[in-house]
Amino acid sequence: MNGNGGPIGNVALLIDADNASPDSLDAVLTVLAELGTVNIRRAYGNWSKTSLKGWASMTHQHAIEPQQQFDVTKGKSATDMRMVIDAMDLLYRGRVTGFGIMSSDSDFMPLAMRLRQEGLPVYGFGTAKTPESFRQACTRFIDVGALAASEREEPAQSASSVDETLLDLLGAAWKAAKRDERGFAKLSEVGQLAGNRSSFDTRNYGYKRLSDLIQALPNFTTERRDDGVLYVRRVR
């Protein structure tokens, strides 16, 4: 599910430059447009490191504010702490209506949960190795590798290889949705129910839309009716 509910305002993108790649920034900004305009763009790290050279070259191109954090103590991340402090400052100023967090670090799980408790959507962007704790703490978590595949219109995995967890999630959402006498439910309602239970996003499977993913799964059948609404039924 893409989570398209229409733009809702002022979005802040906070980037853990130590744990995120600049290669996916364009696609991330496109996804965050679902929430509103990304007016606040900050990248955190020790900019004296050669490993952040890629991010340094992006700061002017994408109007990103580089936030310098020196490595004060070995094994301790001043970057993480600064990001959390800034996020809470932005939250309590009351001008931000959504957050994007680019990181594969599970340390941001409590931050994502806290922001969501205040009613703000949090979109997480990380690699396939991102711990499940951070993934589930986000309103939506999007694998940047799969996101790149969806931008190229290439499914990240074939329909036959989709995991049972996803099938169980979609199946449970279909079962909970209002169904007609033939067992069909509105796809939009199924998607909403699935999104309420999980940080699931169709882009993690290389599809831009839930309809594309559902239609690729042999476990479901769909039909578009005269009113233009797409309906879905589980068949196996």
Give pLDDT, residue 148: 73
Kindly list the averaged pLDDT for each block of 10 residues, start to end, along the chain of length 236.
54 92 87 89 87 82 85 62 93 94 94 96 94 94 82 56 80 92 93 80 83 90 91 91
Q: Are 162 and 101 in contact (CB under 8 A)?
A: no
Give residue for tokens 């990240």: 156
d(CA 181, CA 156): 35
Query: 207: closest CA among 215, 196, 199?
Result: 215
Q: Are 166 and 198 in contact (CB under 8 A)?
A: no
pLDDT at res. 42: 94
The CATH architecture that domain 159-234 belongs to is: 2-Layer Sandwich (3.30)
Q: Which CATH class is domain 10-151?
A: alpha beta
Domains 10-151 and 159-234 share a fold: no
> So what's the pLDDT on residue 6?
46
The domain segmentation of the chain, as residue ranges, is: 10-151, 159-234
Q: Classify residue 49 by its DSSP letter.
A: S
Q: What is the predicted pLDDT for the residue at 74?
A: 52
Q: What is the pLDDT of residue 2?
A: 42
How far is Cα 213 from Cα 206, in angstroms, rounded to an integer?
Answer: 8
C-alpha 127/C-alpha 141 separation (Å) is: 10
Cα distances (Å, whole numbers) of residue 142 to 81, 145, 173: 23, 9, 20
Which pLDDT score is estimated for 73? 52
Q: What is the DSSP letter of 42?
A: E
The pTM score is: 0.75
Question: Looking at the chain, which runs of residues are DSSP E strands?
Answer: 10-16, 37-45, 65-68, 98-102, 122-126, 140-143, 185-186, 220-224, 230-234
The predicted structure's pLDDT at residue 231? 94
Task: Give, in order, the Cα–Cα distances in Å from 198 to each of 13, 122, 154, 169.
Answer: 22, 13, 24, 8
SS (H, E, C) 188-212: HHHHHHHHHHCCCCHHHHCCCCHHH
Closest C-alpha among 81, 131, 100, 106 to residue 36: 100
Q: What is the pLDDT of residue 159?
A: 52
